[in-house]
Amino acid sequence: MLAWAEWGPPDGIPVLLCPGAATSRRMGFGAGVVAPLGVRLVSVDRPGLGASDPLPGRTLWDWAADTRALAEVRGLAGVGVVGYSQGAPFALACAADGPASAAAVVSGCDELAAPGFARSLLPEVRDMVTHAARDPAAAEADFAAFGNAETLWRLITGTSSEVDRAIYRQPAFERAFRRAMAEAFIQGPAGYGRDTLLSMTRWPFDPADITVPVDLWYGQQDTSPTHSPDLGATLAGRLRTARHHVVPDAGGALLWTHARQILRSLLELLQD
């Protein structure tokens, strides 16, 4: 069973959100934007996080199948998908073999295990990628042992730029973000461990084979070590259908600071 939350008009254009690492369906975006734009935003907990049932050993292809089934059950046609941060490979799986007719990757985690990134990753991230490749089961267990809401909140804010910390430390935003993280771990850390393993290993699809249009959004001030070493430039080169946007004054919190721009652009792709 998958759990989800919805915002916007029930008859709006469906946009499926793949949330970032260790957050639940409760962390949406564009609160004052989705209704005026006519967007039906559907945010889904991945298996083992929030209220979605666990699925041990799941893959990115499993996620594409899950979202395709959800779209059929909920009557969602012409779906756009948004992948934020660690949700990016899940969104791209939906674009490769799921319900997505167009996609937006926002501050997205690139395929860090791809050979082209071997020399550009920070040492601690390179060590995680190497560990995941050599012993996936042990790496997954280690990622789960590390994962809890408080530790990850400190990690996110500690590795963020001042631009992003100003967003994260806004009282209302911090409360919402921390609630979403607490709910993500309500079943324990196994779901987070699996998500992290999938983000640190090779993707089961070649981005070059994706045929639906994809927007890539990055903030020039994004300092996260696990998003993209080159702010999506390599991923843009691999995706034949990509439009690459780098916003000079934005950071990794681009999903919330530029929600209207991101959704308008995605709607254009869906309507082409």
Segments making up each domain of the chain, as ranges:
4-271
**How far, in Å, CA of 188 to CA of 209, rounded?**
35
- Rounded Cα–Cα distance for residues 82 and 36 (Å): 18
- State residue 272's pLDDT score: 79
d(C-alpha 162, C-alpha 31), whole Å: 23
Confidence (pTM): 0.96
Q: What is the pLDDT of residue 156?
A: 93
Per DSSP, 15 falls in state: E
| pLDDT value of residue 124 | 94
pLDDT of residue 118: 86
Q: How far is CA 78 from CA 20, 90, 133, 201, in A?
A: 23, 18, 36, 30
Q: What does the pLDDT profile of the chain (272 residues) look like in tens digits?
A: 899 999 999 999 999 999 999 999 999 999 999 999 999 999 999 999 999 999 999 999 999 999 999 999 999 999 999 999 999 999 999 999 989 999 999 999 999 999 989 889 999 999 999 999 999 999 999 999 998 999 999 999 999 999 999 999 999 999 999 999 999 999 999 999 999 999 999 999 999 999 999 999 999 999 999 999 999 999 999 999 999 999 999 999 999 999 999 999 999 999 97
Q: Cα separation of 231 and 221, whole Å?
A: 10
CATH class of the domain whose range is 4-271:
alpha beta
What pLDDT is recorded for position 147?
87
DSSP string, 36-104: HHTEEEEEEPPTTSTTSPP-TT--HHHHHHHHHHHHHHHT--SEEEEEEGGGHHHHHHHHHHSSEEEEE
**Residue 226's pLDDT is what?**
93
Q: Which helix (H) or strand (E) holds 242?
A: strand 242-247
pLDDT for 40 = 97
